[in-house]
Amino acid sequence: MYTLNNKKILIAGARGMVGSALARTLTDQGKGELLLPNRQQLDLADPITVTHWMKEHRPDVVFLAAAKVGGIAANSNFPVDFLLDNLAIEINLIKAAYELGVEKLIFLGSSCIYPKHAEQPIKETSLLTGALEPTNEWYAIAKIAGIKLCQAYRTQYGCDFISAMPCNLFGKNDNFDLETSHVLPALMRKFHDAKTNKADKVWVWGSGTPLREFLYVDELANALVFVAENYSELEHINIGAEKEISIKELAELIAQIVGFKGEICFDSSKPDGTLRKMMDCSKLSKLGWRPQLSLQAAISETYKWYCDNHAE
């Protein structure tokens, strides 16, 4: 439907986990000319800077992968940052994309946009049918506003702006800070440190029973290129792994990959968050995209990257 070949492509958030995976994938596939500004070159929170930068560089395509992101603790502790930073980034870039005649914009959100008690697996049509999970509603509200802004530009001005909602992600360039990270990188680091320090116990937050769906960021990047070229509709589209796993099983899998042989304990004073958020990805699979890599293989690749880049 649309080709990224020979296009000028801006990846907003190019240094982040999703943006850097997109840059690798687009480079590997030989797609277009990439514009990869860092935060000093393009401060997305500043509307004047964004408009000037867009006027100067005139991208044909924008992947909006920049966001203030974080795990269950960060979301609860920094509600203003999660709401305000994400709204500012979306408004500035989506508005400038319209004004500068961007041909295609792909806005990224996450599965936390859906109601806490949405019917599972969660279809795209569940959006705004119920109350959100309180531990990440700040981020979710900002992302819902971003989806609606893309829809508004499509409806009012005919812009080809689409939104993609991935499940929980992990991979190279993830955040491994224990206070602000998501569960998968946090557990990888905890097990690695415990192995290195010969500790006999690792504490996992919550009860271990919540179910989550994890997609490797390189697979997401591949899916995003696919939707950019093959999807052009008002409604957002889910991108998931099509498999779920409990936090307990995830902990056991990571411990095995890392080589930690001690005890795995559960800290019930920490929140579980939503108990299940499995997405229905039939819309995407009908278009012809499905994930390829097993969770085990993807976690092993990520752990290798972690050891080469972070671990002491």
User: Which residues of the chain form contacts with ligand GDP (CB under 6 A)?
Assistant: 71-72, 112, 136, 168, 181-183, 186-187, 204-206, 210, 212, 247, 270-273
Nearest residue to ligand GDP on Cβ basis: 71
Comparing CA positions, the residue from 8, 285, 11, 10 lying closest to residue 173 is 11
Q: Please tell me the distance from the alpha carbon of residue 259 to that of residue 242, in angstroms, as a whole number.
A: 27
Instruction: Name the percent of the chain in helix, strand, coil, to the closest 5.
Output: 45, 15, 40
> Which residue's CB is nearer to ligand GDP, number 104 or number 236?
236
> Which residue's CB is nearer to ligand GDP, number 50 or number 72?
72
CA distances from 298 to 179, 217, 222, 225 (A): 23, 9, 14, 19
To the nearest whole angstrom, how small is the minimum distance from the Cβ of residue 178 to ligand GDP? 6
Neighbours of 85 (CB within 10 A): 20
Query: What contacts 4, CB < 8 A, 6 or more positions away?
Result: 26, 31, 32, 61, 225, 228, 229
To the nearest whole angstrom, how small is the minimum distance from the Cβ of residue 65 to ligand GDP? 18
Q: Please tell me the distance from the alpha carbon of residue 57 to that of residue 54, in angstroms, as a whole number.
A: 5
Is the Cα dihedral 25, 28, 29, 32 positive or negative? positive
Active-site residue, from 98, 139, 153, 306: 139
Active site residue 2: no
To the nearest whole angstrom, how small is the minimum distance from the Cβ of residue 88 to ligand GDP? 22
Q: Please tell me the distance from the alpha carbon of residue 290 to that of residue 309, in angstroms, as a whole number.
A: 29
Comparing CA positions, the residue from 141, 135, 165 lying closest to residue 71 is 135
Burial of 240 by CB count in 10 Å (0-12 exposed, 13-18 middle, 19+ buried)?
buried
> Which residue's CB is nearer to ligand GDP, number 7 or number 68?
68
To the nearest whole angstrom, how small is the minimum distance from the Cβ of residue 256 to ligand GDP? 16
Q: Please tell me the distance from the alpha carbon of residue 241 to that of residue 293, in angstroms, as a whole number.
A: 9
Helix H or strand E encompassing 52? helix 47-57
To the nearest whole angstrom, how small is the minimum distance from the Cβ of residue 293 to ligand GDP? 20
To the nearest whole angstrom, how small is the minimum distance from the Cβ of residue 182 to ligand GDP? 3
> Which residue's CB is nearer to ligand GDP, number 24 or number 117?
117
> Which residue's CB is nearer to ligand GDP, number 25 or number 110?
110
> Which residue's CB is nearer to ligand GDP, number 47 or number 271?
271
Residues identified as active-site: 139
